[in-house]
Amino acid sequence: MRALSTSAATINRIAALLLLAEMAQPALAAKRITVKQLDQALANANEKPDQVVARWLAGLELIERMSTQDLLYWKEAMPGIASSRALTALADSSAFLNPPVEKMPKTVPPDHDAQQKLLALASAYVDDTLSKLPNFFATQGITTFEDTPSDREGQQVIAYQPLHYADFKTANVLYRGGKEVMETRSGELTEKDETISPTSGLLSSGEFGPVLKTVLADAQKGKLAWSHWESGIDAPIAVFRYSVPRKNSQYKVKVLLPGHSYPAQSRPAYHGEIAVDSLSGTILRITLLADLIDDDPMSKADLMVEYGPVEIGKRSYICPIRSTAIVIAYRESRTVGVDSRRFDEGRKGPQQTLLNDVTFGHYQVLRSEARVLTGADTDDDGKQP
C-alpha cells in the first residue's frame, strides 16, 4: 500500500509540474482539466508573472464546478488583477457543471415520501423567507467578460480572442415591501426593471426571492425529480432537477447586446437544478438554463444564483451572495464597403459569449426616522421650524 501511495503522489507532482510548465506556452485550444488538477497547478502560481498566469488560465476549461470557497481562496493567491479576473471567468464558466465526484456523496437517494418532504420544506422556506426579509439595500459588484468572435471588416481580419475581462461596475439594489425596487430621478421608488441593468449580458432581477417562487411554481407544472446529493457544511445538500415547457414558463429572458439600447427578450422553456439544505429546506443554489429555439436572438442564456447567510440589522438572513449569467448571442450580420458600413437586419452574424459575474454585499437595513415638531420646538440653531 505504501508503494502505491507513493506512486500516486509522484504522478500528481508530475502532473502539477507539467501544468505549471504550460503556463509559459501560448494557448492554442482550451485544455480540459479537473478542479484537483487546477489546484495542483495553482500551488505556485504566485511565483509566475501576472499576465503569464492570466493567459494560461484563459486557455483552460474546467470539466467540474469550482466552488465559491475555492474561487475566493485562489483569488487571494493570484499574482495580480489580470490572473484574478481570468480565474473568475474560468470558475463562472463551470458554474452549471456537477461538482467533483468526491463532493458528491454516494448516499442512497431518499425515497418518494422523503423527497416530497424535502420539497415541502423548500416551498415553506421560500414563503417564510420572503415574508420575513426586512427592507434593505445591498451593493452589486458586476464584472463582465466577453470573447471576440472572428470576423472580417473589409480587408481586415479580426482574430478570435477567448473570454476576457471587459468592465466592472457597481449598482445598488433596494428591497422594500417584498419587491426589488429602484429610486427614480424624482426620488420615487418603483419596481426594478431589468432593462436598467448597467451592463450588457443576461439581465436579471428577483434574486432575493421572486425567482425562487417562479421556479418552484413553474416546476410544479413541469417535471421535478431527484438528481443527486452534494456535500454541505452542516448537512448534505439535496439536488433536484426540473424542466418547464414553454407554455408554462414565467421565465422572461432579457439580453442586452453590446451597442444596443434595448434588450432582446424571450419567454422560453427552461430547465435547471434546485439545491436544498436537507435539514432546514433552505435553498442554497438555483440554476435556470433556457431551452432556446432558432427564432431566439441567442443560443444560450443561463443563470445561476447562490445563497448564503448575511447580516442585516444585526440579524442573519439567507440572501444572494453570488450569481453568474452566461449568454451566447448572435451579433448582427454586417457587410462592410469601402466607405460605409451597413448592418443587415434579420441576419444572424457570428456568436459572441457574454458573461456577468455578480457579487452581492454591504447589506444594510433600511430605516426611517421621524420627529413630530410643535410650535414650541426649536431647531439646533434656536429658531422655530
- In which element (H, E) is residue 129 found? helix 112-132
The answer to whether 24 and 49 have CB atoms below 8 angstroms apart is no
In angstroms, the CA 18 to CA 41 distance is 8
136-148/201-203 β-pairing: unpaired
- Of 146, 172, 194, give the one whose Cα is nearest residue 357: 146
Q: Helix 68-77 vs helix 35-42: angle between axes, to the nearest 10 degrees?
A: 20
What is the predicted pLDDT for the residue at 368?
A: 56
C-alpha cell at 300: 444560450
| CATH numeric code, 112-365 | 2.50.20
Domain boundaries, the chain: 2-101, 112-365
Mean pLDDT per block of 10 residues along the chain (385 residues) reads: 42 48 52 95 89 94 96 95 96 96 92 95 86 87 89 74 90 82 50 48 69 88 94 93 93 74 81 96 94 85 93 90 90 49 51 92 76 53 52
C-alpha cell at 303: 443563470
C-alpha cell at 110: 431518499
The answer to whether 54 and 27 have CB atoms below 8 angstroms apart is no
C-alpha cell at 254: 432579457
pTM above 0.75, yes or no: yes
Sign of CA dihedral 67, 72, 77, 83: positive
Q: Kindly provide the residue ranges of all beta strands, DSSP E only, lying in the chain, ordered along the sequence.
A: 31-33, 60-62, 136-148, 151-153, 156-158, 161-176, 179-183, 189-191, 201-203, 223-230, 237-244, 253-256, 264-266, 269-277, 283-291, 298-312, 315-336, 341-365
Q: Helix 35-42 vs helix 2-22: angle between axes, to the nearest 10 degrees?
A: 70
pLDDT digits (tens, 9 = 90+) for 157-207: 778 888 899 999 988 888 887 777 755 444 444 445 443 344 566 666 667
C-alpha distances in Å from residue 78, one per residue of 23, 25, 88, 352, 356:
13, 18, 11, 28, 21
What is the predicted pLDDT for the residue at 15?
A: 46
